[in-house]
Copies of this chain bind each other. A is one copy, B any other.
Amino acid sequence: MKKEMKRTTIYDLATRIGASPSSVSAVLNGTWKKRRISAKLAERVLKLAEEEGYTVNTQASLLRRERSNIIGMIVPKYDNRYFGDIAEKFESMARLRGLVPIVTCTQRNPDLEFDGAKELVSYQVECLISTGATDPDRISDFCQAVGVQSINMDLPGSKAASVISDNFTGAFELTELILSRCEKELGWVGPLRFVGGRLSDHNTAARLDGFLAAQRERGIEVPEEYILVEGYSAKKAEQLLAGFEPNGPTGLFVNSTISLEGVVSWQSGLPDGGKMIRYGCFDWDPFGSFLPGNVGMVEQDVETMLDNVFDLIGSGESTAELIKIPCKMRVFD
C-alpha cells in the first residue's frame, strides 16, 4: 500500500499526453464533443486515464459545478424489509434518473436524525428525503433555511410535501379481513385487539382509526383495554400480551412486523399453540405467510411512493401537501 501516493490528476494526464488540462477535463467529463475536441485526442486521454486508474476527484468536481445532482435520504433502520426496500429502491431509482443517491441510517435516534440531515446538506444535496423521521419538521425548517428542498416519506410533516401510505384504508381493509376470517374459520365475531405502535405516531393513529371504523361498521364495540399501543418492539408486544390466555377464539391486528415477532412468540407459548387465534399484520415480511394464524398482511407500495417522491423533486414550489398511496393487501389461506 503506497500510503502517501498522490492520486493521478488531470494535470498528470495532460502533461503525459501533451495537451492542456482543459482538454483533458472536457474529454473526461463528456463535454468534449461540444468543445469539438478531436476524437484522437479524446481516445488517447481515455486510454491513459484507464491505464493510470484515474478517477475524478468528486470533491473538486462538485465544488466547481453549480449542481451536485446529489440526493440524500435518511432512514431510521434496516431492521425490517420495509426500510431496506426503501433504501435499495431509492438508490436504483435515483441512479436511473441520473442522480447520485446517498443514504444514511439514523438508528431511530432523533439527534442522529438531525445530524444525518445536516451532514447530507453539507454534502450539498439538492433534495433531502426524510423517511420515517421522528421530527421531520425540524429537518424541513433547517433545509428551508439553507435553500434545500426537503420531502417527507412514510411519516408526514407539516413543513414539506409528504408521501405516505394510506394507513386508514389499509387498516380498514385488514381489519375486515381478520373479522371475516374469524367468523368463517372460528365461527366467532367480536372485537379485535390492536397490538403495537405508539399513538403519538401518525401512522399508528391513522391505522387505529381504520381499525375502529371497520368494526364500528359491523356494530362491534372495541373496549379501550384492547388497544395495546406502547411501542413497536417485539419485547413490548410480548409483554403486553403476557397475561392474556384466550380460552376461545380471538383476533389480533398487529401493527408492524417488529411487533409481530413478539406476537408470534407469545402465541407459540400458549398451551394450544394459539390455534384459535387469527391475526393480520400491517407490514410485509416474506416469512409472514407461513406463520400459523396469519390471515394477511398489508404491504406498503414502496415503488409508487418513491415514484411520487421523485416527481416532487425539483418541482419548484413545495407546498406541504400530503400524498397518500394505497397499500397492497396480501391474503393468506
Contacts and interface: CB of A to CB of B under 8 A. Distances in A.
A2 B147 contact: yes
Interface string A57-95: 111101100000000000001110100110110011000
A293 B273 CA distance: 15
A285 interface: yes
B59 A87 contact: no
A1 B285 contact: no
B87 A105 contact: yes
B58 A7 contact: no
Contact of A264 (B57, B265, B290): B290
Nearest to A63: B59
Nearest to A92: B107
A217 interface: no
A186 to B, nearest CB: 19
Most buried by B among A7, A8, A265, A318: A7
Contacts of A53: 142, 145-146
A121 interface: yes
A147 B261 contact: no
Contacts of A287: 260-261, 264, 285, 287-288, 291
A41 to B, nearest CB: 23
A124 interface: yes
Interface in A101-149: 102-105, 107, 118-119, 121-124, 142, 144-147, 149
A278 to B, nearest CB: 16
A203 to B, nearest CB: 21
Interface in A214-253: 234
A187 interface: no
Interface in A32-67: 52-53, 55-60, 62-63
A30 to B, nearest CB: 15
11 contacts: A1-B316, A5-B147, A7-B147, A53-B145, A57-B122, A77-B88, A88-B105, A91-B105, A264-B290, A265-B289, A290-B291
Interface of A: 1-3, 5, 7-8, 52-53, 55-60, 62-63, 77-79, 81, 84-85, 87-88, 91-92, 100, 102-105, 107, 118-119, 121-124, 142, 144-147, 149, 234, 260-261, 264-265, 268, 285-292, 316-318
